[in-house]
Structure 1
């Protein structure tokens, strides 16, 4: 049995012992106190990491790399799902790298590794840590982006309520920032719901909108055109001067759309 084989055999037989030692050393170095369940989770992660390293040193680089990528992605996704910041994960890598390096060198000396063999172990370990950092961050960002998108969709539903106020009339109060995604949500989801309400007038109230760009103004105008084609007249209220200027500068013709400063005036205009 070669020195490297003896070394990897030791790693495989003592993964839990080594993992506990690594976790304790990292926590001590960072002066951290974590709940017992989190410590047990960290130990399990390092048990798997040491197993990946042993397999790579035994020549199973491809299998070990695939497992490491899946493992790292899982860490990033769990962190995003639990509301952690990515910095809380990445900040632990430098002390972990230092502690792992010291541990591997001590073991390599114990098994009388040559300089070349010691370099192999350290290089493989560093490569694995770098792969892990990258995949963890990528997975965290993907999951976090999805969570943000899902949250945005829920907020869109809440921020674009259609409120029937009397026979044939409903109000669509717009609040907050209108961006492309929200404008598209209005087009794809809100307009069909309006069409199902059997109304003649829709009052779109802009009093809760502070800013709007030309592209979105054009998008909203297109929505009004669709409603007009299906027999619903759109009335605009609460359009601030700055918003009105954006519409005018963009060459959008709103001459066929009734506009009022206040909701009361709009309701009084409907006979």
Structure 2
């Protein structure tokens, strides 16, 4: 019988027991090199290890492109779990890279047990190593996707906290802008903050720029467009805290200051209000 086919059939037939043994080896190895590592995610992945062994075994007799296609199809079907248990990318990927070496070591043991020739052991190792790399790359993408989602959620929370409408007296409220104003935060203002203003019984809105760290010309145009929108809704808009560096950005953006009421501080703006 073809030697590669022999290894393939052995892996597929014994995928469950091999997956269990590999999981135990991985857990033991990780526990020995890093005492504080969370092992729960690897226990959760035991069934996936069994499936992966069967897929790798079946892939040995297939062209690399087809084997990779089938592996990617399986990866899309299974859900990556336990990502939230890892505090950093290195903490997540380092154990997975270690798992690769354990996988390959076990495959070599199987080949030696089945008395496979050195040439075919090399061929088998190349195929398995390539497919595990594909698997690891997907894990990297999964972690990046998880972190990106977390960052979006954190940014949304920050936006909600950093752009509140603060009522200060009857009919008067302040919108304090704090930190670096970028496209995402402007979109939050336009999509979530601005639509709530007409329902708050506000006659005068003071937009305070004193807490802004940075702003570019395009963003400045968006923010000052809020002035025009609110005026159409019958709300008077006052601007405060526009420092010289922000003034330069506004001028470069081609924004006409003549139609705006500006004050040095929120206190001055409040004192100017005659309701």
TM-score, normalised to structure 2, is 0.84
8 Å Cα contact 1:68-1:128 kept in structure 2: no
Is 1:205 aligned with 2:212? no
Does 1:112 find its partner at 2:115? yes
Rate the CA distance shift 1:163–1:83 in 2: closer, same or farther, 3 A. Answer: farther
Q: Which runs of 5+ in 1 are unaligned?
A: none
SS at match of 1:113: coil
Kept in 2: contact 1:169–1:200 (CA 8 A)? yes
TM-fit CA distance, 1:52: 2.2
**Offset of 1:17 from its aligned partner?**
4.7
What's the counterpart of residue 100 of structure 2? 97
Pair 247,83 (structure 1): closer, same or farther in 2 beyond 3 Å: farther
1:219 corresponding residue in structure 2: 222
Aligned to 1:228: 231
- Cα deviation per residue 1:139-194 (whole Å; 9 max; x = unaligned)? 22222212211221121111111122222211111111111111111112211111
- The separation in 2 between residues aligned to 1:265 and 1:63, in whole angstroms, is 68
Q: 2:164 maps to which residue? A: 161
Out of 22, 25, 30, the position equivalent to 1:22 is 25
**How many residues matched?**
267
Q: CA deviation at 1:6?
A: 4.4
Other structure's SS at 2:200 match? coil
8 Å CA contact 2:31–2:37 kept in 1: the answer is no
CA distance in 2: counterparts of 1:166 and 1:31, whole angstroms: 58
Deviates more, 1:155-164 or 1:19-28: 19-28
Could you tell me which runs of 5 or more consecutive residues in structure 2 were left unpaired when the two chains were aligned.
none
Q: Does residue 191 of structure 1 match 2:197?
A: no
What residue in structure 2 maps to residue 51 of structure 1? 54
Alignment RMSD, CA only?
2.6
Residue matched to 1:7: 7
Say if 2:22 and 2:102, in contact at 8 Å, map to a contact too: no
